[in-house]
């Protein structure tokens, strides 16, 4: 059995070990290691322990040669977590897109060929839409000329009231022309976006294949 003096010495050693443990919850440092952290003013600090007010901040553990051997992430705010989640999702989408490029195309010329095919299709649609809009404009002009013979457009005192079917046709043709013009502008925007996307894919494919072959 331990004597009273031995028990007292053991208790003192235990208390000393507890007091030496890091108060910030970080892992104990091995001899020669150092913490590195940055305060709220952006000043970098080094020490064998991190002050309690920075215990939740990002920090690094350096060995005796100043090389980082461990990195401890700091606690993030709600906004920082949202931003991190968005960045991770973008990175995941980018990686997935890269994999799709590499598994779909053999060379950049394949992407260029598909680009030219899609652009030719869109160009045909744009030309057809433009032709239709021109026909609507001609038709609307003829309807407006007819409408000038009736009230309220005619200045003749004996002019008749515009027939309902003519008024309806004017409104219908005018609306159709406006909608077609909007659709044409949207199609042109789609064409521009598609061209940019294809160019980006071609550039990215070349970067990926250059890494593979290097």
Q: How far apart are CA 62 and CA 50, in angstroms?
A: 13
Give the CA distances from residue 32 to residues 23, 55, 208, in Å, rounded to whole numbers and listed in that order: 19, 21, 42
HSE value, Cβ hemisphere, 13 Å, CA-based, for 44:
5
Given this model, what pLDDT does residue 181 score? 97
> What φ, ψ does residue 77 adopt, rounded to 5°?
-75, 170
Strands (E), the chain: 34-38, 44-47, 59-62, 68-72
Q: Mark residue 61 as left, alpha or beta (left: phi above 0; alpha: psi -120 to 50; beta: remaining).
A: beta
What lies within 8 Å, CB to CB, of 94 at 6+ separation is none
CA 178-181-186 angle, to 5 degrees, is 130
- Kindly list the averaged pLDDT for each block of 10 residues, start to end, along the chain of length 214: 46 42 51 85 88 84 86 79 90 96 96 97 97 98 94 90 95 97 97 97 96 68
What's the pTM value of the predicted model, to 2 decimals?
A: 0.59
Query: What is the SS3 assignment for 31?
Result: coil
Q: Are strands 59-62 and 34-38 parallel, antiparallel or unpaired?
A: antiparallel
Phi/psi zone of residue 41: left (φ > 0), alpha (ψ -120 to 50 degrees), beta? alpha
**So what's the pLDDT on residue 27?**
52
Whole-number pLDDT of residue 201:
98
d(CA 47, CA 52): 13
């Amino acid at each position: 059995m331990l004597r009273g003096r031995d028990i007292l010495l053991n208790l003192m050693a235990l208390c000393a070990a507890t007091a030496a443990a890091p108060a910030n919850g970080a892992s104990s440092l091995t001899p020669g290691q150092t913490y590195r952290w940055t305060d709220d003013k952006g000043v970098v600090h080094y020490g064998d322990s991190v002050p309690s007010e920075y215990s939740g901040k990002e920090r690094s553990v350096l060995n005796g040669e100043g090389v980082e051997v461990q990195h401890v992430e700091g606690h993030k705010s709600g906004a920082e977590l949202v931003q991190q989640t968005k960045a991770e999702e973008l990175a995941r989408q980018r990686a997935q897109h890269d994999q799709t490029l590499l598994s779909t195309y053999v060379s950049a010329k394949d992407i260029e060929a598909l680009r030219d095919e899609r652009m030719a299709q869109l160009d045909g649609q744009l030309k057809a839409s433009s032709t239709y809009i021109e026909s609507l404009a001609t038709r609307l002009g003829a309807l407006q000329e007819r409408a000038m013979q009736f009230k309220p457009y005619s200045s003749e005192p004996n002019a008749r009231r515009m027939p309902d079917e003519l008024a309806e046709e004017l409104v219908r043709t005018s609306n159709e022309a406006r909608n077609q013009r909007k659709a044409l502008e949207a199609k042109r925007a789609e064409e521009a976006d598609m061209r940019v996307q294809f160019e980006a894919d071609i550039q990215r494919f070349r970067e990926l294949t250059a890494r593979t072959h290097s």
